[in-house]
Structure 1
Amino acid sequence: MRVVIAEDSVLLRVGVERLLADEGIDTVAAVEDGEALLAAVEEHRPDLAIVDVRMPPSFTDEGLRAAIEARRRVPNLPVLVLSQYVEERYAVELLAGGASGVGYLLKERVADVSEFVAAVRRVAEGGTSIDHEVITQLMVRSKRNPVDSLTQREREVLGLMAQGLSNAAIAKSLVVSDGAVEKHVGNIFAKLGLEPSNSEHRRVRAVLAFLNLG
């Protein structure tokens, strides 16, 4: 796997690069601002871009805006955003642009190496990895959520799907059987009217519905 890292903190940038190297993941470019990120993704066409939200010059939302632009310039570019806080406005824009190959993690998650690496691989493969806190805040902003018909347990399952967990991982988290999770997932798809599609994965479409973005 080939990645581009955009992070203004030298220590974190180098730390993430070394962490990835230990997992056999190659960093083809490590940059410190949005413009350099755009140049790097256009040049290298990486398997994943890991982007800090707050970068120079104003240290507000340059990184997230650059990530959105990077996906516009390089369609289907997987992007994993790292942030100290949830930047609600642009998080919505990033996710609404297509949840396939998108991750949004709070930086504290990087400390859990196995969780972070799993998120990197998942997003690079076209999946999602959305921090629970991000999900919570986006749910609060929703005026009307299309998952009202789901049971409490089905909502719990869908919330874990939004974090990128597999059925087996969901079963372990909820302490239920794999068969029970498969049944819940089937019910979720049925209630949301998500028929099989060749162009869009139903789990991704369910995540969008959960966040009221689809």
Structure 2
Amino acid sequence: MRVVIAEDSVLLREGLTRLLTDRGLEVVAGVSDAVALLKTIDDLAAGDGLPDVVVADVRMPPTFTDEGVRACVTLRGLYPGLGVLVLSQYVEEQYAGELLAGSTRGVGYLLKDRVAEVREFVDAVKRVAEGGTALDPEVVQQLLSRSRKGDVLTGLTPREREVLGLMAEGRTNAAIAKQLVVSDGAVEKHVSNIFQKLGLGQSQQDHRRVLAVLTYLNS
């Protein structure tokens, strides 16, 4: 699994590199700004091949506003198969929304504090690299609070909202069952009810999960 890290802090960039390398991932490049990130990905695409995932800070030089997330949005447009995991100091709903617009496949948004939870962080990197979703629980909670002001999800029960929130974090049915201390069958029933109430008809299961999460995030 090949990774590119974009982080202006040398200490954090080197720390992420060591952390991921020690767990069997190959960090093929580390850059300090968005311009270098875009050039590096283009060069890799033309040479050794795209990495599996980019791990990037939201705020990067020169203005330290939104260069990192803008670069990631650009990369998702140019290279749809490239996983993108954005790290942020705190929840910024606008940036999360821009990153997730269109598809939640191969995308993640985590708070930097989550890096300290090494196993969860590495799992998130791998999940995004494999085309899954990894959203910080605090991001999901804020989006859930906002969604309560709308009408799209009013038909869901509190438990179904909870299940959908965990789906938005990128968790599988088995992981949701473990988190809620319920059976796999109970989670499958909740997921089925969510699909029905959101008007998502029969289709490929993974596709419906993405549509459900997008409905949730955009509500």
Give the TM-score of the pair, scaled to structure 1.
0.93
Whether contact under 8 Å (2:163, 2:190) holds in the other structure is: yes
Q: For residues 15-43 of structure 1, give each alpha carbon's deviation from its aligned partner in whole angstroms, at most 9, with x where no partner exists.
A: 11111111111111100000111111222
Structure 1 residue 122 corresponds to structure 2 residue 127: yes
Structure 1 residue 50 corresponds to structure 2 residue 49: no
Distance in 2 separating the partners of 1:25 and 1:170: 26
Distance in 1 separating the partners of 2:200 and 2:129: 24
Q: 69, 86, 94: which one pairs with 1:64?
A: 69
Distance in 1 separating the partners of 2:55 and 2:3: 7
**Structure 2, gaps ≥5 residues long:** 45-49
**Distance apart, 1:140 and its partner CA:** 4.0
Q: 148, 157, 167: which one pairs with 1:151?
A: 157
Whether contact under 8 Å (1:42, 1:73) holds in the other structure is: no
Letter in 2 for 1:153: R
Partner of 2:94: 89
Matches for 1:101-120 after TM superposition, within 5 Å: 101-120=106-125
Distance in 1 separating the partners of 2:156 and 2:40: 43
Q: 142, 166, 173: which one pairs with 2:172?
A: 166
SS in 2 for 1:165: coil
Whether contact under 8 Å (1:41, 1:74) holds in the other structure is: no
Distance in 1 separating the partners of 2:92 and 2:118: 23
Over the aligned positions, Cα root-mean-square deviation in angstroms equals 1.7
Partner of 1:8: 8
Give the TM-score of the pair, scaled to structure 2.
0.91
Structure 1 residue 132 corresponds to structure 2 residue 137: yes
Letter in 2 for 1:96: A
Q: How many residues align?
A: 213
Distance in 2 separating the partners of 1:126 and 1:116: 16
Distance in 2 separating the partners of 1:86 and 1:57: 21
Change (3 A) 1:134 1:18: same
Partner of 1:201: 207
Distance in 2 separating the partners of 1:43 and 1:97: 26
SS in 2 for 1:15: helix
**Distance apart, 1:145 and its partner CA:** 4.5
SS in 2 for 1:28: strand
Change (3 A) 1:137 1:14: same
**Structure 1, gaps ≥5 residues long:** none
Partner of 1:210: 216
Moved over 3 A (4+): 139-143, 196-200
SS in 2 for 1:30: strand
